[in-house]
Amino acid sequence: MSTQIPVSHMAFVRARVGRSAELGARLSALIEPSRSAPGCLSFALQYSQCDPELWLVSGFWINQQAITAYFNSPAMDIFAEVIQERVVNSLDFHTFKDVSVGQALGHPQAPVHKLAG
C-alpha cells in the first residue's frame, strides 16, 4: 500500500513596474480551474501588503502525481505568457512535500523544481 504525501507549490511572481494590476488579472484566471483540478486541496492567489509588484501563487495537492499532472496542464501556460510578454520581472517557483521529524533533522534527498527569471 502506498502512502500519499501532500505536496505544495509556491510561486513568487514580481511584476514589471506599472504592470502589477495586469499581472494580477492574468494570474486570477488560474484560481477556479486550479481549485477544480483533480487532486487540488487548496489554491490561492495573494498580493503582497508591502510590495506593490509582488504576487504569491500557492497550491496544495494530494500527492506528487496530482501536482505533476497540474504542471503539465494548459493552466500553466499563463506563466510562459506573462514572461514572454514581459509582464513579469522575476518568477521564483518552488515545490515542497511534507517530511517527518527525522527527515527535517537530516538532509532530505528530493528533486528540486525551481524556475527563476
Give me the pLDDT at residue 106, please.
72
For the whole model, what pTM was predicted? 0.81
Check: CB of residue 79 under 8 Å from CB of residue 9: no
HEC string of 62-73 equals CCHHHHHHHHCC
Q: Does residue 114 surpass a pLDDT of 70?
A: no
Domain 7-105: CATH class, spelled out = alpha beta
Domain ranges of the chain: 7-105
Q: Where do we find the cell 528533486?
A: 111
Check: CB of residue 24 under 8 Å from CB of residue 52: no
Tens of pLDDT, residue by residue over 6-60, are 999 999 999 999 999 999 999 999 999 999 999 999 999 999 999 999 999 999 9
Dihedral over alpha carbons 10, 76, 72, 109 (to 10 degrees):
-20
Please provide the average confidence, as pLDDT, over all residues in the chain: 88
